[in-house]
């Protein structure tokens, strides 16, 4: 994605913080329309080393030109930062962050749909008390089943970064590996809807939020002035 994709975007976002109706925007209380500093090439290369692959081009240029995290859809964007265990995405400056993602975890294969099929098959095999000669045998079998379920459930998140929280346990993901690399998905598992694609790449997802928010604030200001 060419560099002009993000031309003026940082300035547009930061201006929203000064808008008199800014607090009316959903999630604004979580990020305050603040953006972290941009990342330099040395930082990006270090992040990609831990990731084990290059960052998706649109997201990489966003980190380089707009900011490492902060203001964005819903409750804002997580920020990649180094730590004792290597690079990871954290909720720096966010009141309602998503869960952290390590670069190593994000660099694994992304295969939520295949893993969902395995989970569906596993659910049909949940141990039943009547099939076991004793309570201890049943508990042992169910504990092993539950551990496998949790393993598959958690593995569905691999290969992606938690971009941010949508609230109510739902999150937005950016895929880092495989054929869906660079696209935004949603983790809607709290409502039993799985991990689903939004159908949009990162640039479209972010710029659509910005344009929509600018329109929302202009409309809200007009409504207030009309009631004055």
Gap between the Cα atoms of 99 and 204, Å rounded: 23
| Co-location of 82 and 118 in the same domain | no
pLDDT of residue 57: 97
Residue 221 has pLDDT above 70, yes or no: no
Please say which residue of 96, 129, 157 terminates a domain: 157
- Please indicate, yes or no, if residue 206 is contained in any of the structural domains: yes
Please say which residue of 120, 139, 157 terminates a domain: 157
Interval 81-134: pLDDT, tens: 999 889 999 999 999 999 999 999 999 999 999 999 999 999 999 999 999 999
Number of domains the chain contains: 2
Domain that residue 124 falls in: 111-157
| Co-location of 21 and 45 in the same domain | yes
Residue 123 φ then ψ, to 5° = -60, -40
- Please indicate, yes or no, if residue 181 is contained in any of the structural domains: no
The average pLDDT across 25-31 equals 94
Beginning with the edge strand found earlier in the chain, give each strand of the sheet holding 183-187 in spatial order: 160-167, 170-175, 183-187, 195-201
- Please indicate, yes or no, if residue 168 is contained in any of the structural domains: no
- Please indicate, yes or no, if residue 171 is contained in any of the structural domains: no
pLDDT of residue 1: 43
Is residue 201 a contact partner of residue 58, using CB atoms and an 8 Å limit?
yes
């Amino acid at each position: 994605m060419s560099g002009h994709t993000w031309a003026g975007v940082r300035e547009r976002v930061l201006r929203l913080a000064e808008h008199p109706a800014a607090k009316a925007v959903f999630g604004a209380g979580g990020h305050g329309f603040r953006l972290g500093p941009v990342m330099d090439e040395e930082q990006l290369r270090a992040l990609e080393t831990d990731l084990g692959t290059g960052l998706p081009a649109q997201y990489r240029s966003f980190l380089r030109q707009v900011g490492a995290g902060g203001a964005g859809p819903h409750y804002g964007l997580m920020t990649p930062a180094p730590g004792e265990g290597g690079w990871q995405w954290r909720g720096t400056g966010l009141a309602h962050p998503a869960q952290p993602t390590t670069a190593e975890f994000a660099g694994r294969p992304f295969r939520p749909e295949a893993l969902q099929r395995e989970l569906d098959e596993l659910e049909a095999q949940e141990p039943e008390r009547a099939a076991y000669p004793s309570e201890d045998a049943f508990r042992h079998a169910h504990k092993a089943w539950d551990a496998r379920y949790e393993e598959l459930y958690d593995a569905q998140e691999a290969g992606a970064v938690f971009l941010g929280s949508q609230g109510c346990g739902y999150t937005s993901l950016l895929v880092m590996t495989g054929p869906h690399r660079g696209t935004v998905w949603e983790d809607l598992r709290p409502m039993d809807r799985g991990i689903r694609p939004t159908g949009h790449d990162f640039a479209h997802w972010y710029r659509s939020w910005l344009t929509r928010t600018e329109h929302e604030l202009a409309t809200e200001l007009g409504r207030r002035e009309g009631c004055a």
